[in-house]
Structure 1
């Protein structure tokens, strides 16, 4: 999948799923400010991907106007467990590189499955994306946003209730539409 197609699918997911259905109440502001960086990581070797993640942290360090980065992994991490291994290594690398407390990771994958949940449980769609992603988040910004949001700890539970009410077929359709630039999501 060419870079532009990966970015378009991911941008559609952010705007037509995450923002539209308020899965992340902080996304709208960043979409409207155009402060989300979409970085396609073409490398498929773990070491090379980790090097790119560090480079993306460095980019955030030197570009304060960029609030967050979605690192898109179009190849090499289609398998969910290999992807989880990468995320675990990425988290350890952030600590090793001195980024702990500055950036945190959020993980999204087309086959995301919460521990202890069946694969077909609609709640998994709260973390399913059209392509494997690693989301780099500025911790200071997140802390500030959480201070202005009433009961932020209820966000995941609210999303699970919403996902289960809508059902897996609804979300599967949304994710498929993200890969089709001309289609709008419904619902």
Structure 2
């Protein structure tokens, strides 16, 4: 797939699932204002991915939030196994600290086979962090703080999301692009 196709798939997921289902009430404003930077890493090993991640962290930190508030780094050519992806997150957090961005930026993570600890693969809560491709979401701490302060009950978002996803059921999830691979299985239409 081309980078453009990968970005279009990810943007569609943000529009239809994240914003359309209101999984993140903060996403719509930055998407509408075109403050989300979508980019693709063609890395095939952790060293190259770390370089690409460092480049994007530095670029985000160097730009004013009115120009770029957040970045979605799409990783289609590696980390297809969720456990490998999860292991890389330790490297990503170490890189964030090494670059001096702890407390300034943070990294959220999304994966087609995302699975929270102590859940079954088909658990609806897992879909809150499922994306079409392994994706690292680079966020500004100040933006998160401002969004949470503006939202009356931010702690209730996760519980509400689970209720929404459970109510959709598998057919409803498929209509908004879920599941992607669902625990290593091919996407079902």
In the superposition, the TM-score normalised over structure 2's length comes to: 0.90
1:39–1:63 Cα change, 3 Å? same
Match of 1:160 in 2: 162
Tell me, what secondary structure is at the counterpart of 2:52? helix
Tell me, what secondary structure is at the counterpart of 1:126? helix
In the superposition, the TM-score normalised over structure 1's length comes to: 0.91
Q: Does 1:69 align with 2:71?
A: yes
| Contact 1:125/1:168, CA 8 A, preserved across alignment | no
Match of 1:183 in 2: none
Deviation, 1:171, is 1.9
Determine the C-alpha separation between the residues in 2 that align with 1:107 and 1:177: 17
**Aligned 1:16-165 pairs, distance under 5 A:** 16-64=16-64, 65-165=67-167
Residue-pair matches, total: 178
| Contact 1:129/1:175, CA 8 A, preserved across alignment | no
Match of 2:6 in 1: 6
| Contact 2:173/2:179, CA 8 A, preserved across alignment | no
Deviations 1:117-160 (A, max 9, x none): 00011211111111110000000111011111001011111111
Determine the C-alpha separation between the residues in 2 that align with 1:152 and 1:176: 24
1:148–1:176 Cα change, 3 Å? closer
- Over the aligned positions, Cα root-mean-square deviation in angstroms equals 1.5
**4+ residue segments displaced more than 6 Å:** none
Determine the C-alpha separation between the residues in 2 that align with 1:87 and 1:63: 24
Determine the C-alpha separation between the residues in 1 that align with 2:122 and 2:179: 19
Deviation, 1:176, is 6.0
Match of 2:187 in 1: none
Deviation, 1:177, is 9.7
| Contact 1:68/1:135, CA 8 A, preserved across alignment | yes
Determine the C-alpha separation between the residues in 1 that align with 2:44 and 2:133: 14
Determine the C-alpha separation between the residues in 1 that align with 2:11 and 2:159: 24
- Which structure has the higher relative contact order (CA within 8 Å, separation 6+)? 1
| Contact 2:40/2:75, CA 8 A, preserved across alignment | yes
Determine the C-alpha separation between the residues in 1 that align with 2:173 and 2:129: 11
Deviation, 1:103, is 0.7
